[in-house]
Structure 1
């Protein structure tokens, strides 16, 4: 029974448990329409206005609704990308709502031959986190007679054993996977039709299968009015990919990212390999990546404040980069921005900086990013387990040199440093049953729904630990900061529920729940968080992160002195708790 429970928890953590009952199915390639739209959507937009944009907004929503709600479309019987290209010219050229709805009605009526219908049956309200946001299909003022057809399709009986655009990995899983979305990798520069397909595809994936849609700061419907013009006008590769990057930034998710050669070249092929961090709201030199690169020409010291780069103030750089740095909260954004401050396509950078009240200007060399060996801050060469001064146990789950956690710890306290990303090769940190006296609830998940796209329901609460009268009864301190992300945050939740445990540090990255890949035209891949993660009482973790019980922030003085102030505070806390 113990082994079974552990396996269930592991499976949930890896986000491969859900309420669907479907194996992945592939697109039936026999249904592809030959070469009709191969590399060319046959769509052009020479000019547009607000009516055009409004028409495209309605098309995006209707197309996405049919994609996930119509049984035959959802299971891949129709090439739905091609259908978008067929209807889009008529919608673009419509000069009024009446004309637009006439074309939409003619189009959607081709798909109203629903064989079976049923009233929506939702689970118990207590198990529902998020209802589908599809009330708009009843808006006859906007849709006219199209509304009636959409309502009929909403009530269609959807066979949860036949899914295509929404797929799963196993009969036990309903975590959304979008493996059957064509990435059109041969399109070096997607035309306007394919660019709008990218926007429509991403918008509807977020609309129906993103567990944290309700946390998006901007109203998701209004995003279309802003981004349709951007995608229409993005007529070069960089503009197109920057438009995608700006779009994914809007969901406020540290898991959301876009790795693309053109974007990486735009950010800079070269770098001054110096670690910068934001401390007390300022860009501060943190440590010495520089030793292999600079000899006598390195001007900085720990704790120096960077003021300008190539005459641009740091505040201006931050404001500019905030638009293209996807992250769940501001501290996480600053961490990612700090990594990119010294990226450039120039051989040298002019740096204005301050030290002890004095201003300096120096020019530093940059180096090829590909050849720069920049340390991985999420995993370091620290021992996995060690006993610090004052007989305090220190555990670093991301250790690159390994080690063993003793079966029975008998020290003045335990510090678990989650300012990292744990390495699964390090055995013992995952279960760590000696922390718990019994089985304890610590988290619960939400998952999407195949038969009712947009519905998210809670899975059973996840537990950790077993009955253990000999558990470690001393104090435990869990260290966190903006580096603590995803798996690290999940572990912080897990350790926090142990008796005599506190979380110490600062705001974490606020992105838990595994990642899902989303393919877009042009061979572009981006990612989103795949499942909702909450405390047992439903308290949020996304964007908020793991809130510390005791906040400890680094100081510029501490950086200058080369101190780990958070670790010092943790040791001090444990020693005060064990004065003997």
Structure 2
């Protein structure tokens, strides 16, 4: 009986393993295998093989494979052709590494339904005996002055054409594996990265048009839910339009409220004013437009998406666009002009006020204008104030260390980082020690510290807010920040396709997350339509009230 059962099980396995395998299934597995070998196989990761050409040579053989068994055999023979992988004894590091493994998962090597046992064993052996010398296609170096992550020696293919299936797959394979192994927040995505692979491969294999391929590459980058992350191509202007509106907007209550003018003269031509409330564009509500196009808009969280959605709402190919808007309680419809970006001739203030003292002996610091050489004078003038409001709603200059030294009475930790382990791609290591600043300082600032934030505070601004939060009496006022703290790495995937993402992880010293969450305000305040129309800065007003009353 037992013998019969065993024979039946073996036959079932053989039938299952010999069943037909689809192109999507083969290329899904191939995406993973190609990326794994690129960063793990000693004879590939050292640059000895032209890895792009190896892909182009293996793809026809993969296409010919009709079953899982044939697929596995093709891959096994390919791996054997790459040369011997020698076993080595792992040298234990002198200091114990503390790993961050929420992203790490190579279980697919042994769990795939399409891999033979011997193929899984080959891949596992490569994992265990992976390259330990310098990588050819990737580098991660702290202290270089630039972002630590660098993709290296990637051919850009100056003659790239979207009609070339091999090059489309190469671009996709590259990008998917960049994120798979080197995006520290992969575990936080709304959708599992493996699912995104299966979802988008059909549009890469057989796109309906160049537009479909280009938009697919854009959409993939949006799927990683990172305010730093988006893929750009010149064709996006062809599809969405290269003409811009001459004013800035903020989405409030599903309406686009004008909050600033890029050029007073151009705004006057279209008769648009700060406080105008745009309810429809070309007959569609703001909510309808965002719903249709949000898959093209980057953002770690909803406030970031809404901030970055302006171009999908207002950009176009024509020189004018019809809007429905509210002004003085009346609804009207009219056309406004759009311009090429260079023709906007954006007007910037000639001189920004760096700091001032408000009524009630309250200091106000404009982080966007403050430079490191200004800090001694700032300290001299604001040291006796009751409170200081640091406006962190724009990108601050690199002044936080000098300020934090003054605001803290002793050395203080404010951040903890994770870095990619290039010797074990996909794994991350907690950087030894926490980021800190300060010294024993009996003359530290004794007043209240207030930090203003909103969705415009991203990356460096969030880092600055974390530093200011270490002061003995800090209160954060405003709304959710951009939720993308860490170096923004910008790179080229292939000719015509540039992209970016956050390349190392930033946490509070207790390992509390910031990515996607942002800096959480102690007192939440959001601008209102009425406040904008009345010319108020409601976030600053609330901060002044807190500085005066303590509540």
TM-score, with structure 2 as normaliser = 0.89
Say whether residues 1:384 and 2:358 are aligned partners: no
Q: Classify 1:373/1:213 alpha carbon distance in 2 versus 1 (closer, same or farther; 3 Å).
A: same
1:327 corresponds to which residue? Answer: 299
Mapping of residues 243-392 of structure 1, within 5 Å: 243-295=216-268, 297-298=270-271, 300-355=272-327, 357-374=329-346, 381-392=351-362
Tell me how far apart the structure 1 counterparts of residues 351 and 316 of structure 2 sit (CA, whole Å): 29
> Which has the larger helix fraction?
2
Tell me how far apart the structure 2 counterparts of residues 321 and 62 of structure 1 sit (CA, whole Å): 33
TM-score, with structure 1 as normaliser = 0.85
1:242 corresponds to which residue? Answer: 215
Say whether residues 1:77 and 2:77 are aligned partners: no
Cα deviation, 1:96-119, whole Å, max 9, x if unaligned, reads: 212211211111122361123346
2:461 corresponds to which residue? Answer: 488
Structure having greater relative contact order (Cα 8 Å, sep ≥ 6): 1
Cα deviation, 1:216-250, whole Å, max 9, x if unaligned, reads: 11111111111111112336443332111101000
1:17 corresponds to which residue? Answer: none
Tell me how far apart the structure 2 counterparts of residues 495 and 539 of structure 1 sit (CA, whole Å): 17
Unaligned runs of 5+ in 1: 1-48
Deviation at 1:403, TM superposition (A): 5.0
Which residue of the other structure, out of 529, 545, 548, is the alignment partner of 2:518? 545
2:471 corresponds to which residue? Answer: 498
SS of structure 1 residue aligned to 2:123: helix
Q: Classify 1:178/1:113 alpha carbon distance in 2 versus 1 (closer, same or farther; 3 Å).
A: same
Question: RMSD in angstroms over aligned alpha carbons?
Answer: 2.5
Q: Classify 1:118/1:61 alpha carbon distance in 2 versus 1 (closer, same or farther; 3 Å).
A: farther
Say whether residues 1:209 and 2:179 are aligned partners: no
Q: Larger deviation: 450-459 or 429-438?
A: 429-438
2:428 corresponds to which residue? Answer: 456
Which residue of the other structure, out of 500, 504, 511, is the alignment partner of 2:484? 511
Deviation at 1:523, TM superposition (A): 3.7
Work out whether residues 233 and 496 of structure 2, in 8 Å CA contact, stay in contact via their aligned partners in 1: no
Tell me how far apart the structure 1 counterparts of residues 287 and 103 of structure 2 sit (CA, whole Å): 40
Work out whether residues 515 and 530 of structure 1, in 8 Å CA contact, stay in contact via their aligned partners in 2: yes
1:419 corresponds to which residue? Answer: 393
Tell me how far apart the structure 2 counterparts of residues 327 and 203 of structure 1 sit (CA, whole Å): 19
Cα deviation, 1:90-140, whole Å, max 9, x if unaligned, reads: 212322212211211111122361123346969857543446311111226
Deviation at 1:512, TM superposition (A): 1.0
Tell me how far apart the structure 2 counterparts of residues 454 and 217 of structure 1 sit (CA, whole Å): 19
Q: Classify 1:504/1:339 alpha carbon distance in 2 versus 1 (closer, same or farther; 3 Å).
A: farther
SS of structure 1 residue aligned to 2:426: coil
Work out whether residues 190 and 522 of structure 1, in 8 Å CA contact, stay in contact via their aligned partners in 2: no
Deviation at 1:366, TM superposition (A): 1.9
Tell me how far apart the structure 2 counterparts of residues 562 and 423 of structure 1 sit (CA, whole Å): 27
Deviation at 1:443, TM superposition (A): 0.4
Deviation at 1:487, TM superposition (A): 0.4
SS of structure 2 residue aligned to 1:406: helix
2:17 corresponds to which residue? Answer: none
Mapping of residues 57-136 of structure 1, within 5 Å: 57-111=28-82, 113-118=84-89, 124=96, 126-130=98-102, 132-136=104-108
Q: Larger deviation: 405-414 or 328-337?
A: 405-414
Tell me how far apart the structure 1 counterparts of residues 165 and 546 of structure 2 sit (CA, whole Å): 60
Work out whether residues 351 and 362 of structure 1, in 8 Å CA contact, stay in contact via their aligned partners in 2: yes
